[in-house]
Chain A
Amino acid sequence: MRFSSKSLVFLLALTLILSAGNSFKVAGANKVTIKFFSNLPDRTAGQGRLEQLLIENYMKANPHVEVKVEALQDEPYKQKFRVYTAGNQLPDLFMVWGQPAFFDPIMKGGYAAELNRNDYKDYGFFPGSLDGFSMNGKLYGLARNTDLMVLYYNEKLFKDNGIQVPTDYDQLVTAVKAFRKLGITPIAQNGRDSWVLNILYQDLVIKESGDQSLIYKAIDQKEKFAYHKHLLAAAQDLEELVKIGIFQDSFIAADYGAARNLFGQEMAAMFYMGSWETGLAVDENFSASFRNNVSVVAFPGMKGQGKGRTTDMMGWFGGGYAVSSSSPVKEEAIKLINYIMAPENWAKNAWQLGLVIPGQKYDQFMTGNENKLQLQISKILNKATSFSGTPWNDAATPGFKVDSQTIIQEFAAGMKDPAKFLEACDQAARKAKQ
């Protein structure tokens, strides 16, 4: 290991050159550079590909604009987003989740530029889709997709075993018991991600009470988790479902891919997931038998008076875009966001490529080539009588998100009984209010 002075000099020179090279940036005459911060790192498939495609089309149509994309996956995205906001150096255009836990501090802090609501009159955004992106009547962002929680199921597994596809909660319990007896996993669940468990609990609260606002009142501590009969009933339902084995064994350790594959490999009868999974019907990674047999229903409601029906649904508008208020190219960034979210761009393509359910009206983009799941979910969406809004774990502070997700995981793992679970929820809600 000999170090000659030559190699030493060379090394230092190399460092210098590398650092100097950075300062030789040639600024084009009228060139505008827009920094675009995205949560879709895969630019060659799915939504990331569509986003990239739209950006490239925009650059082609506007040669003076250069868009620089920085893309990180959710967790690293949130981490870097914090760093950017702390230094007040947010990129010009960025992805946001239209949920209080994420976007409220951004809007309150004045980091997001106000958008002109009138610009979007003809964009066909669904009613309520922009609520999560607004504060005090001012609009700060645009929603990308409609997210609806549904129950995907395998028709063949139901038919072959003579089990009825559940249309109410009692039938769900019967189906779960029947599948367990046959050694088939009833519902594939990614318990490690915990947010699906949060959503399932909220879905049960809706079905028990028929009241979409109940859980938010509890978070606001206008109701107490521990003393409300519907909140308790929903917790008992969830406990019962776990006890009769609704999920695969070791579901707490399973992540998204594991649960999805369990369903795709026809080893689980159902998959409780969002409307973004319509691609299951055409996923070449799974067998033809699965693709032909995958189908979808709304999560079953309860029988009886004052209870939630199947049409009272878990649905919200999650991701979207916003523009930085301190951006030096704010006008250009707003033009770009308007281009991407124009109905003929994001909504049309996202629907026709079968990626997601757009946050805008998409009836005019129906081609007849849609896959079965897309059409079924469209029908479910049209029949829905009420939507929940932001899932409860995302509906308060970032701290509450962490707490509520930990609590539900412990509850589902059997470490807490319903009473303890509800007490912990109250505690987390009180902490979030302080």
Chain B
Amino acid sequence: MKKYKLSDGILDVAPVKSRNWARLLIYLLLLIVAIGQLFPLIWLLDFSLAKDGELFGPKILIWPSNPQFENYKVAWVDGKIPQYLFNSIIVNVISVSLTVLFSVMMSYAFTRMQWKLKNFCLTIVLLGMMIPIHATLLPNFSSFRVLGISDSFLGLIIPYIGITLPMGTFLMTGFIKSIPVSIEESILIDGGGIFHLIIHAIFPLAKPAVITVVIMTFFTTWNDFIMAATYLASDKYRTLPFAVYNFAGQYASRYAVQFAVMTLVALPSLILYMILNEQITKGITIGAIKG
């Protein structure tokens, strides 16, 4: 039986009560999803305050009667977090900036400029997406040795750019294609040069795609361990993911401290996500449609 309600002179067909139910259901569903998303973080935090011996017991979460804040101190000092963080920031800032810069400039050349072998070159760049990282480790390692850039920041930045650039170019070409040419034409008529055009027109217009590339590059390079482990040998260049391994024994490890390290390492990504939350969602969805 349908219920009708008259409000402000308009007949409302949908009964008020059932609409509340639907909303409640949605909230409930969202709550479950939110808990599912947040639980690993809570779990991480929880374990990082426990003792090694208390972990992996029958309880999923342990409320430590005696929270081991000591774990964080050990993680910070013995895990060499400040030094690794500094290295990670240097490597990431440079890799991300250069990837963005190159992908925008290359994509512009691939979509707007007319030149021989254009499509061939684009295909070559995009082929990079097909090559698994592991296949590149050995040849890169040998070439870097010969070039004298193994075990340096540069020896890590170059492969990072190499591995992220194809995807970045793929997203950017798709996006730049959708920008109307008339804007560029008007800039050229007004006497603007090519770099002026890219910096003042393409960059701001392609902002959602740029942000997508930034995020994807950042997460790839921030979390990478295998490339860093292969190309670096000295402790002074090591990046954050190594910190966890500083507490790995031959058999058993110092697990609680490792949880503390992981909490600290995850923190920058988390904070970044909170700040850029809206941009990230926008960037990823737009990128997805254009891609």
Contacts and interface: CB of A to CB of B under 8 A. Distances in A.
Interface stretch (B3-11, B199-207, B263-271): B199-207
A4 to B, nearest CB: 8
Given A15-B154, A87-B138, A87-B141, A265 B250 contact: no
A286 interface: yes
Interface stretch (A252-260, A298-306, A331-339): A252-260
Contact of B229 (A22, A79, A258, A277): A79
Contacts of B101: 3, 8, 11
A410 to B, nearest CB: 24
Contacts of B199: 2-5
Contacts of A267: 57-58
Contact of A15 (B58, B98, B142, B251): B98
Interface in B102-161: 137-138, 141-142, 145, 148-149, 152-154, 157
Interface string A47-78: 11000000000000000000011101110100
A41 B248 contact: yes
Given A1-B203, A1-B210, A285-B53, A257 B229 contact: no
A261 interface: yes
A83 B138 contact: yes
Contacts of B58: 267
A70 B228 CA distance: 12
A175 to B, nearest CB: 22
B243 to A, nearest CB: 10
B204 A2 contact: yes
Contacts of A256: 251-252
Interface in A1-28: 1-5, 8, 11, 14-15, 18-19, 21-23
Contacts of B251: 256, 274, 276-277
B233 interface: yes
A319 B204 CA distance: 58
A369 B154 CA distance: 51
B246 interface: yes
Interface string B146-190: 001100111001000000000000000000000000000000000
A43 B254 CA distance: 12
Contacts of A74: 250
A203 B250 CA distance: 22
B152 A18 contact: yes
A22 B248 contact: no
A76 B249 contact: no
Contact of A42 (B148, B154, B207, B248): B248
A44 B157 CA distance: 30
B53 A11 contact: no
B286 interface: no
Contacts of B142: 86-87
B145 A42 contact: no
B149 A19 contact: yes
Interface residues of A, number: 58
Contact of B249 (A46, A86, A87, A261): A46
A40 interface: yes
B197 interface: no
Interface string B251-278: 1111100000000000000000000000
Interface in B205-224: 207, 210-211
Nearest to A48: B249
A277 B251 CA distance: 9
A430 interface: no
Contact of B78 (A23, A44, A68, A86): A44
A305 to B, nearest CB: 37
Given A15-B98, A46-B250, A265-B53, A3 B203 contact: yes
A256 B258 CA distance: 15
B53 A72 contact: no
Contacts of A45: 247, 249, 254
A79 B251 CA distance: 18
A1 B249 contact: no
Contacts of B247: 41-42, 45
B53 A261 contact: yes
Contacts of B149: 19, 22
B216 to A, nearest CB: 15
B285 interface: no
Nearest to B256: A285
Contacts of A4: 199
A286 B253 CA distance: 15
Contacts of B226: 76, 79
B234 A68 contact: yes
B254 A42 contact: yes
A117 interface: no
Contacts of B39: none
B225 interface: yes
Nearest to B200: A2
A283 interface: yes
B204 A43 contact: no
Interface string A270-281: 000010110000
Contact of A285 (B52, B94, B137, B195): B52
Given A76-B245, A257-B56, A262-B56, 20 more contacts: A2-B199, A2-B203, A18-B157, A19-B153, A22-B148, A40-B250, A42-B249, A42-B253, A44-B78, A47-B249, A72-B245, A79-B137, A79-B226, A80-B230, A82-B138, A87-B141, A257-B52, A257-B55, A283-B53, A285-B53
Q: Which are the 7 A-B pairs with shortest beta-carbon distances?
A: A285-B53, A258-B56, A19-B154, A22-B152, A285-B52, A73-B248, A41-B245
24 contacts: A1-B207, A18-B152, A22-B153, A41-B246, A42-B248, A42-B249, A42-B253, A42-B254, A46-B250, A47-B250, A70-B235, A72-B229, A83-B230, A86-B138, A87-B141, A87-B142, A91-B233, A257-B52, A257-B55, A260-B252, A261-B52, A261-B54, A261-B57, A262-B57
